[in-house]
Amino acid sequence: MLNRSHWMAIGGVVFAGVVVAAVPLVQRASATVPAVAAEPAPTTSKPHPAASLAAAPACAACGTVVDVHAVMVGGNTSGVGGITGGVLGAVVGHQFGGGNGKTLASIAGAVGGAVAGNAVERNMKRHTRYDVVVRMADGRRETVSYDNLPPFRTGEAVRLEGGSLRAASA
C-alpha cells in the first residue's frame, strides 16, 4: 500500500522530469539575437518588365543584405541521455516504499529520469545557426546559412559565389 510519502516521492520525480523537459522551451523563447540594423520590410511587387530591360543589373550575383538572424537548431538525441536518466531514476525511485510501492516508485523514477535525461541530452546538442538573407540585383531573395556569426550586416553590398557570400568590391 502506498502511503502519502510514497506518492509525494513519485510526484517529485515526475515533476522534475517535466521541469527539465520544459527548460528548452523557456530558453528558446528567451534566446537573444545579435544586434543588426533594421531595414523596412521589402515590398513584394515585381518591377515592370520594361524597367528591368532599361536598367539591366551590372552583376547578377550581387545583392544587398536585408536580414541577419539567429536560428536555434535543436540537437538530435542518441538515446544515451534517456537510458542514463532512466537507470538513475529507477535507482532513486527504488529507495522509496516497500513491496508494490517500491516497484511503483522505481517505475515512476525510470520514466521521469528517461524524460529528463533525453531533454538534457537534446539541450546539450543545440546550437545556433545564422541566416543571412540577401535581396539580389534581379529582385529574388537568397538565404545563406553560417555556423558562426557572419561578418555581414544589414544594408551591406555582397556577392554570392558558389553558395557563399563575399563583400562586394567597390
Phi, psi of 58 (to 5 degrees): -70, -25
> Tell me: the pLDDT tens digits for 81-125?
888 888 888 888 878 877 888 888 888 888 988 888 888 877 777
Cα–Cα distance measured from residue 109 to residue 91, given in angstroms and rounded to the nearest whole number: 8
Q: Which residues contact 126 (CB under 8 A, 6 or more apart)?
A: 24, 72, 73, 74, 75
Q: Between residues 52 and 139, which one has the greater pLDDT?
A: 139
95 is in which domain, residue-wise? 4-167
* Cβ partners under 8 Å of residue 78, min gap 6: 121
pTM over cut 0.85 = no
Write out pLDDT tens, residues 150-169: 999 999 999 988 888 888 87
- pLDDT value, residue 89: 81
First to last CA, the chain: 81
Q: How many structural domains is the chain composed of?
A: 1
Close Cβ partners of 148 (under 8 Å, ≥ 6 residues apart): 130
